[in-house]
Amino acid sequence: MEPIILNSLPAEIDRQSLFDSLRLKPGRPVPPELDRLTADAQRLGRPKAVYLLAGILSKTDNGVLVEGGPDGEVAFESHILRLNLEPAHRLFPYLVTAGVELDDWARSDPDPLIRFYADQIQEQALHSAVHALADHVAAAYQIGPLSRMNPGSLADWPLTQQRPLFSLFGEAAAAIGVQLQPSLLMTPTKTVSGILFESETSFASCQLCPRPNCPNRRAPYDPDLYEQRYA
């Protein structure tokens, strides 16, 4: 299936999540710049996504072969991903970006504090765009709960797997302004890559990641989960 581009995802900023990310305690005064910056971001922001439906051609001990890419098939190598995809016959590789518009905007102010606020606002816009993509896929394909995995979030599915992932998108990545750098990181920096997949048992990489105080944690660390589900 050809990549599908979503060019106008909402740049929604969840006020409470923003306050949490800035560690603003309840009852403390809100910095006066925040409302102006939030309004600017919502006016200027154009988060975007590209995704495709990819059938799973085969499963190996430690990975899956999916259809797509210049050679017609792409290998993802990850023990955890393989087991998460046990019941699946398809997946949805994706890129979501807060967009070059917000990236330029967030860098434009000479004041480092304003740039920090703008960076956190961008992060919120990216989160809302990721949720909007998942809602879009769930509605378009009438499927139930979706989980996601991101290359580089766990040692088991390292950042080098960005290469096969990006090979599925071809020119569509550049069409939404996203580039994979030689370091395997992406620009704009507020961009995420990964796969969505149907799963009755919800999964988030954070469940297997012990990193303390991660500002982007989506689920609590479960020290027993690997042994229970993946050993």
Q: Closest distance between ligand SF4 and the C-beta of residue 207, in Å?
A: 8
- According to the binding rule CB under 6 A, does residue 206 interact with ligand SF4? yes
User: Least CB distance from residue 221 to ligand SF4, whole Å?
Assistant: 7
Query: Whole-number minimum distance, CB 3 to ligand SF4, in Å?
Result: 25
Structure tokens at 162: 């960005």
Whether 129 and 13 have beta carbons less than 8 Å apart is answered as: no
Q: Where do we find the tokens 């046990």?
A: 86
Question: Cβ closer to ligand SF4: 130 or 206?
Answer: 206
For the CB of residue 212, give the shortest distance to ligand SF4 in the complex, in Å: 9
Q: Is-contact 109 199, C-beta < 8 A? A: no
82 or 148, CB closer to ligand SF4? 148
Applying CB under 6 A, does 193 fall inside the site for ligand SF4? no
Q: Rounded to whole angstroms, how far apart are CA atoms 217 and 221? A: 9
The two tokens of residue 169 are 């998108």
Site for ligand SF4 contains 216 (CB under 6 A):
yes
For ligand SF4, which is the closer residue by CB, 38 or 147?
147
Tell me: does residue 209 bind ligand SF4 (CB under 6 A): yes
Token representation of residue 62 = 């430690």
Considering only the stretches 23-31, 48-56, 99-107, 210-218, report the one whose residues sit in contact with ligand SF4 under the rule CB under 6 A.
Answer: 210-218
Q: Phi/psi of residue 55, each to 5°?
A: -75, 150
**Interface with ligand SF4, residue 78, by CB under 6 A:** no
Per-residue contact flags (x/-) with ligand SF4 for residues 12 to 51, judged by CB under 6 A: ----------------------------------------
- Reading the block at residue 2, the tokens are 């050809």
Q: Which residue has the tokens 């999916």?
A: 66
CA-closest candidate to residue 215, choices 116, 123, 107, 97: 123
Number of residues counted as binding ligand SF4 (CB under 6 A): 8
For 154-169, give the DSSP string. Answer: BTTB-GGGHHHHHHTT
Q: Binding to ligand SF4 by residue 172, rule CB under 6 A?
A: no
How far apart are the C-alpha atoms of 217 and 206, rounded to whole Å? 6
The binding site for ligand SF4 (CB under 6 A) comprises 153, 205-206, 209, 211, 214, 216-217
